[in-house]
Every structure is written in structure tokens, then in C-alpha cells.
Structure 1
């Protein structure tokens, strides 16, 4: 492996060599025939827009690996240098701990509100696994993102990325494929979406002795070295995809929208911010909530409106229209247990405390029902009467309701 990816160097210096024709071919030559990526429908539309338009918009949707500086900044630099006559609007909407379900329901607010998206990078494989999302939930959410994206812009190109974590390494070394990657690939194949399997690449290259997890990559939140691996792979994938695009084809192509994999996919997801009008007896509205217990918070979950309940049996009612409903909460050390029902059905129980809540008011999305009939519904929520033995409190803090309309 070349020294350039064993140290942190300014990407601008690297790109100067690339632009002079001295670096990029060499760096990407081994990627032309690997099993680490799938081109599928390709990225022709993005190329045509970037070559012919004066402006373009690229979005990065994902969790903390997309939120943190690193590979994303390098890809942005590459695009700016690859297409110097195009003014790029980069939409960085990675949020730590967020997987595909939050991505599907915040897609309209965080991505589409910026305007027409020409190229979307989507990653959720680490958080979907870590957060314990079911196979059904993963497929509904990833499919929802794709269909919502393509409904807004039928020529939008999309790339799925699968980042690495220790569990994925162990699964590949056991000659299997991680279930979360199988689920995401099911959506990618159905919609003919390109994908980059960085989890498999990192595992293969470690097994080949190129680098180690402990000394080089270090963590699922990669070291600068690890981000360099990601950046190189993604940039080479883009370069190879565009190099093989038929140059005589100047027009963009509308992406077909096949039948749904799951009739309840979250393709019309949206979030609804809490308001004072939602308050009922026993609940309160805080327009600028901040924690008083010293626990940490995440962006967009402090100094924001919260609907707060901590009185047992106090009933909160939320009327909505759609096939799915959930609550996005700040799950902190005092998170409790709620009971809920929809349309007078039997009461169900949902524990709001996560294994990470001890020192963090963690943003968490709880889908309370994802298979409702289309039409109007009533969600009712109340706190359980007694604090559970393993809980320090019995509080519910709602940042958003979310629905699939």
C-alpha cells in the first residue's frame, strides 16, 4: 500500500497530481475489477449534470461516520476539482446514531427542502445493525428513502455505502454476508442502485496484510487513515463509473420506479414538530429545552421545543393521517416506559431507555405502528404508573412525531 494513504495529507496536494494525470489512474487501477462495488445503473445522470450545468447539488445522508469530518470532505474536494466549472451545493445531513428509519422520515426536512438533488450518498448499515433495527424496518426505510428521492427528482443518482464495524468483519471472516448488508442490497438490486461495500473491502485488505484494525483503522469511527481508505474507494468508484460512461450519450435518463418491495415502505415519511397546542393535562411544552442533569446531548436535541410528560396515566393524544406513526424522543438517563394505543386498539408498551442513555439524551426513533390502513388515526400515549426497577425516572420527551403519509 502506498504511503500516501498511511498518513494524513491535504487532499488538495493529492488532487494537484491527479489533475496533472499523474495520480488518479495509479490510485484507482486496482479497483477496476473487484467485488467491492456494484455499478448497476451507474451515475450517468450526475455526470451529465456536473458537466453541463453551472450548478449542482450533492447530499450526504447518514450517521456519525458521515457527520464527522473525513471521507465526505475529501469527496467534496474531489468533485470540486473534477468539475471546476460547476458550483456545488453540498448538503451534509449526517446525524450521529441515525440509521435508515430516521433517514426516511427526516428526508423531506433535511434533504429535499434544499431543492433539487442531483446525487445522493446514503449510508445506514452501521447504525441499522447497532441500533437493532429489524430486517423489515431496514427494507421499508431504505426503500422509502429511494422512492421519496426519485419521486422528487426521477433522474437523481443514488449511491449506497456500507461502512465497516467489528461485527461485519467477523461475519465476513465466517464466510457469510452481514444481514444488514443483505437487506440494503435487496433494495439496491431492486432499484438498480450502485453500492460500495467498504466493509468487505476493509476486511479483505486487512486479511491481505495491508493494514490492521488496531494500529491503523482503529474504530468504526475511523482514524484519519480509515477515512482516507473510504475517500479513496469512493472517489475511485466515481471515477471508474464515469470513465466507462458512454461519451456519445449526452442526455439524462429517467430512473424507472418498479413496484414496491414492501407496500408499507416509508416513501412519504415526514416529521411533525411538537407545538403548544398538543399539550394535554399532565404534559408540558418547553420551547427551549435543555437538560439539567449534566448528561450530554446531540445536535438538534437541545435548545429546541420538547413535549414532556412524567406524570403517570396522563394522556397525550395525537391525530394523524398515514400508514405509520412514531415518536422521536430524547432518551436520557430518566427515560421511562410508555403505554400507547392507536384507534382504541389494545394498549402496548414501549420502553424508551436505551443502553446508551446513561450519560446521553440520545435522539431515538420509535416506530409505534408501521402497517396502518390509509386514512385518519388517533395515537394515545401515557406514562406507566410505576418506575421500572432498572430505570431512574419515568419521563417521555418528544421532539417530533413522525408519520408516513
Structure 2
């Protein structure tokens, strides 16, 4: 067995409710959504993966495979299973993975963290899995973000091949059962078509079994005789069943993808599909903003509550007093804050270009533990210089009302108080102005 290297960017946060919530919105709107849905197909090889395959077939080559996605990719499922299949198919090469999966997040964060979490590790193949978590996003946003991922990748690493992979949840299965991709995957197919990127819908066999009555979406293992139980929540597949079906879809698809792959050569970037795409998305450490005196750095190596975020954040600051603020200027069209949310977070007031402040609640119905998230600031701005201020609001959110039935899961009520804010980075499409 060849030696393998697993990079330290390997952290995943399974946020079940966020995934379910986004796909429920998509399913609810599917009947009235005018967006044209793509015909369902397990694999569209397009231009294949010629650079990856050429390197994988080279004895002694060190081949890096990156996985950018949400909690389904963070699971011990299709990601490590495909790694094992590559090692078996190309035993003379050395494979390693770059695990860049974060649960409950979509392409709107992935496009910003792409350089730090993926490209800096120089992959030869990049799998992008965001169809499930992008279920509630608008087509324009999906298009901008997915195209930004492609153009950033080929600008930095023109020999890196890309493959879009799509997953499925029970709540979003309606279009697939009718022979169509859900909306998010349909939009991604636009980007894939424009750039010749192969795509694999890993759930075509899942859908077929469901239509035949041979698959149970949600239930315990082992299932009834002759039935495949997909997941325990209709979202995150069991490694033994749902993820195995996902793996086999990838294995089957590599036949037609290999047949479509011609000569290995760098990818050339032509005209964009969407002129306003997020090719210029950047992740900037929060320390480059102006922080009020109430902010203090978190020791990401020593702090037991936050050290597991060190694989994703270069820095993290904390503040808890109303009025503590962050101010920055940027030239560009979009801005957000990459932060950590959890039991003690409160609300912030977001002001752009001196306009009226907008309340951004950092506490949601899944804040029983700390996880990564994004504070939306502004999008679709004129491409000029903008000033942003984010200030801690003295008002606390009604945590018990927000948590609802999940209040029964609270073990330490004293943690669910305060107005804390934990920013880690600025996310801009453009550049910071000093």
C-alpha cells in the first residue's frame, strides 16, 4: 500500500437542521419555480478529467484529491471511499486527500475559503459538492459562486481538473423522482456546461430504488429484508448503504469520464458565463480590520472550546460588550464576516456606507454548540469603495423561543446568555482598502 498524506485541513461540522431546512425550501418552491430544471442523468462526462487521469496513471506520482463541500462530504462516507477506490485502481501512484468539507455551509462560503482550504494545497482533482446546501439559494447566487470556484481554481492551478458531484435528500427528491435535477444542481449544470466540467449525480441509483419501493429514506439499520435504508435522517447517508451507493455512482461514472478525456493540458479561462461571478472572492484575516478595544484574540492552539476551528481560521477574536465594533473599507461588490456562532452569541448591527443599521442575529435554532457561520453584510453593491461597521447590539435574542423544542437538549443553561461575537475573517468580492 503506498504511503498517503492527509492534510490537516480536515474538520467537518454536521449541521443536520441547516441542510434539511434549505432542501425543504427548495422542495416547497419547486412547483412554482420557473427555473428550467435539467434532465436527470448520472454522469455528464463533458471534457473529462485528462490531467488527473494522466497523473494517476504515472507510476510513483503523488496525486492530491480535494473535496470541497458540506456535511455529507465531511462524513466518513463517499470521500474516503473514493480515495480507497483510486488507490485500488492506480496502485502505483500515491494518493492523498484534502478534506475541505464544513457541514451546513454552501458555495457562498466555499468560494471565499477555496484558496486557503484547497488551492494552497495544490490539488490535482477538485470535487465540488454543494447542491444540497445550496438548495435554498437563488440561481444567481449559485451561478456566481460556483463559477467563482472554477475561475479561481484554473487561474491559480490551470492543470487541476474539477468535477461537480450532486447529493440528494428525502425532502428534495421530488424533481429527481420526476426525472429532473433539483434547482440547485440544474444551475450548477449551467456552469459545468460552460466550462466542460464533468458532473456526477451520485443519487440516481438512490432515486431508482426509491421509485421501485426498494429504498427507505429514513430509518434504523439493519432495514427490512430486501430494502436499503438510506439514512437515519433522510439527509446524511449511512456509510454502509447510502454512501456505498454514492461511491458506486462515482466508480461507474469514471468509465465514460475516462473515455471523454483527451490530451492533458492546462485549462484556459475564456469569457465568463456570469460577468459578476465571484472570481475575486477573498478571505482576509479579521485583524486587518479596525477592531475596537473590546476585542481580544482567541488562542486557537490552546483554547479547548475553539481550537478545533484552527484548521479553518487563521485567527479568531472575541468581544462581548454592546458597542464593541469592527470597521473596514473595501472596493468591490460584496462583503460578509466569517464567524463562529454558538450558545453565547447575540446580535450585531450592520451598517454599510452610513445607511440605517440592520440587525443580524447570530443565534439560531442549532446553536447548542459552536460552529462556523457567515454574517451577511451586503451583496450586489456598485464596484466602488464601501465602508462597513459591525457593532454588538445590546439586545439579546430570545434564545428559548428560537430553540423551541431543542431547549430540552440544553445541559448547561448558564452558557446560553450574553452578547458575544466571534469574528474570524472578512469575506469580500474585491479588495480591502487600508
State whether residues 297 and 360 of structure 1, in contact with CA within 8 Å, keep that contact through their aligned partners in structure 2: no
Quick one: distance in 1 between partners of 2:155 and 2:313? 33
1:102 counterpart = 2:109: yes
3-state SS of paired residue (1:127): coil
Which whole-Å CA distance do the structure 1 matches of 2:105 and 2:349 have between them? Answer: 24
Tell me the distance in 2 between the aligned counterparts of 1:396 and 1:61: 27
1:41: Cα distance to partner? 1.5
Q: How does 1:10-89 map to 2 (within 5 A)?
A: 35-52=41-58, 54-89=61-96
CA–CA distance in 2 between the matches of 1:44 and 1:277? 42
- Flag the 1:393–1:137 CA change in 2: closer, same or farther, 3 A: farther
1:3-402 matches, within 5 Å, as 35-52=41-58, 54-115=61-122, 117-129=123-135, 132-173=136-177, 177-213=181-217, 214=219, 215=223, 216-218=229-231, 219-223=234-238, 224-242=240-258, 244-245=259-260, 251-275=263-287, 278-288=290-300, 290=303, 299-300=309-310, 305-357=315-367, 359-374=368-383, 376-390=385-399, 392-402=417-427
Contact 2:347 2:359 in 1 (8 A): yes
Q: Distance in 2 between matches of 1:341 and 1:175?
A: 45
Residues 282-306 of structure 1, C-alpha deviations (whole Å, 9 max, x = no match): 43333348587xxx99644899843
Deviation, structure 1 residue 205: 2.3
Distance in 2, matches of 1:124 and 1:297, equals 26
Residues 386 and 301 of structure 1, relative CA distance in 2, 3 Å threshold: farther
Equivalent pair of 1:356/1:362 in contact (CA under 8 Å):
no
Report if the CA contact (8 A) 2:332-2:383 is conserved.
Answer: yes
1:124 Cα shift? Answer: 0.9
Q: Is the 8 A contact 1:93 1:111 kept in 2?
A: yes
Give the deviation of 1:107 after TM superposition.
0.6
Conserved 8 A contact 2:332-2:381:
yes
Residue 176 to residue 353, structure 1, CA distance change in 2 (3 Å): farther
Contact 1:37 1:197 in 2 (8 A): yes
3-state SS of 1:212 partner? strand
- 1:255-294 per-residue CA deviation (whole Å, 9 max, x = no partner) reads 34343333332222232223398431343333348587xx
Distance in 1 (alpha carbons) for counterparts of 2:284 and 2:99: 21
For the Cα contact (< 8 Å) 1:172–1:203, is it kept in 2?
Answer: yes
In 1, distance between residues paired with 2:255 and 2:179? 30
Is residue 202–residue 247 contact of structure 2 (8 Å, CA) maintained in 1? no
Aligned residues of 2:289 and 2:327 also touching (Cα < 8 A): no
- For the 8 Å contact 2:201–2:249, the answer to whether it is kept is no
How big is the shift at 1:150?
1.2
CA distance in 2 between partners of 1:161 and 1:348 (Å) = 36
Query: Could you tell me how far apart the structure 2 residues matched to 1:146 and 1:123 are?
Result: 13
Tell me, yes or no, if the aligned pair for 1:333 and 1:361 is still in contact at 8 Å.
yes
CA 1:205/1:300 → structure 2, altered by over 3 Å: closer, same or farther? farther
Could you tell me whether the CA contact under 8 Å between 2:348 and 2:362 is conserved in 1? Answer: yes
After alignment, is 230-239 or 315-324 more displaced? 315-324
CA displacement 1:227-254 (0-9 Å, x = unmatched): 1111111112113321x247xx5x3244
SS of residue matched to 2:203? helix
Q: CA-to-partner distance for each residue in 1:151-179, whole Å, 9 max, x for gaps?
A: 12223221111111112223433665422
DSSP-derived class of the 1:323 partner: strand
Distance 1:311 1:232 in 2: 52
The answer (yes or no) to whether the contact 1:169–1:200 under 8 Å persists in 2 is no
Cα distance between partner residues in 1 of 2:281 and 2:299: 24
Give unmatched runs, 5+ long, in structure 1: 1-33
Cα distance in structure 2, aligned partners of 1:48 and 1:195 = 19
Q: Partners of 2:296 and 2:351 in 1: how far apart?
A: 20
Secondary structure at 1:202 match in 2? helix
What SS does structure 2 have at the residue aligned with 1:128? coil
Following superposition, the deviation at residue 145 of structure 1 comes to 0.6
